[in-house]
Amino acid sequence: MPFSPPLPAIFPRHDSNGAPMNPSLSAKRPVSSFSSLLLSSLLLAAVLLGFVPATAQPLAADLVEDGQTIDLQQDKYRQLFAELTQKHQFSASELQTIFRGQTINRQVLVLMDKQWEAKPYYTYAPLFLTPGNIKTGKEMLQQHKGLLDRIEATFGVNREVVVAIWGVETRFGSRQGNLDVLRTLNTLFDAYPRRSEFFRKQLIDFLVLCRETGIDPHGVMGSYAGAFGQTQFIPSSFREYAVSFDGDAKRDVWGSVPDVLASIANYLKRSNWTLGAPVYADLGYLLNDPQLVAAEEKGRKGRVALDLVRRTQNRPLPPSPQNKPVTIVGLELEPGGPYTKRYIAGYPNFQAITEWNHSNRYAMAVTELAEALGR
- Three-class HEC string of 147-164: HHHHHHHHHCCCHHHHHH
- H, E, C per residue of 26-88: CCCCCCCHHHHHHHHHHHHHHHHCCCCCCCCCCCHHHHCCCCCECCCCCHHHHHHHHHHHHCC
* Residues 57 and 134 grouped into a single domain: no
Residue 257 lies in a domain: yes
Please tell me the predicted confidence (pLDDT) of residue 2. Answer: 40
Residue 21 has pLDDT above 90, yes or no: no
- What's the chain's average pLDDT? 88
Confidence of residue 229 (pLDDT cuts 50, 70, 90): very high
Same domain? 57 vs 171: no
CA distance to 59, 182, 183, 190, 194, per residue, from 105 (Å): 14, 11, 7, 11, 17
Distance CA 126, CA 215 (A): 36
If phi > 0 it is left, if psi is from -120 to 50 it is alpha, else beta; for residue 299 that is left
Q: Tell me: do 145 and 168 sit in the same domain.
A: yes
Last residue of a domain, one of 77, 105, 133: 105
Determine the structural domain holding residue 309 and report its residue range. Answer: 280-346
Q: Are residues 91 and 137 in the same domain?
A: no
What integer pLDDT is reported at residue 112 of this predicted model?
92
Contact 253, 230 (CB under 8 A): yes
Q: What is the pLDDT of residues 146-160, one digit of tens each?
A: 999 999 999 999 999
Same domain, 58 and 136: no
Q: How many domains does the chain have?
A: 3
Instruction: Determine the average pLDDT of the residues in 252-258.
Output: 97
pLDDT band at 55 (very low <50, low <70, confident <90, very high): low
Residues 71 and 144 in one domain: no
Residue 14 lies in a domain: no
Query: Residue 44: what pLDDT?
Result: 47
Same domain, 192 and 224: yes
Give residue 280's pLDDT.
98
Last residue of one domain, picked from the residues 223, 240, 274: 274
Determine, yes or no, domain membership for 179: yes
Q: What pLDDT does residue 116 have?
A: 64
Query: For residue 296, is pLDDT > 90?
Result: yes
Looking at the structure, tell me whether residues 296 and 309 fall in a common domain. Answer: yes
Q: Is the pLDDT of residue 271 over 80?
A: yes
Cβ-based burial of 130 (10 A; exposed 0-12, middle 13-18, buried ≥19): middle
Beta bridge partners of 329: 344
Does residue 236 belong to any structural domain of this protein? yes
Residue at 9 is within a domain: no
Q: 19: pLDDT confidence band, cut at 50, 70 and 90?
A: very low
Q: What is the pLDDT of residue 118?
A: 77
At 163-222, the pLDDT tens digits run 999 999 999 999 999 999 999 999 999 999 999 999 999 999 999 999 999 999 999 999
Does 363 reside within a domain?
Answer: no
Residues 255, 222: one domain? yes
Alpha carbon distance 237, 218 (integer Å): 19
Across the range 115-125, mean pLDDT stands at: 86
pTM of the full predicted structure? 0.83
Residue that finishes a domain, picked among 86, 105, 124: 105
Give pLDDT, residue 4.
Answer: 34
Q: Is residue 152 part of a domain?
A: yes
**What is the pLDDT at residue 3?**
33
| Structure confidence at residue 10 (pLDDT) | 42
Assigned domain for 255 exists: yes
Residues 182 and 110 in one domain: yes
Identify whether residues 88 and 115 lie together within a single domain.
Answer: no
Do 246 and 312 reside in the same domain of the chain?
Answer: no
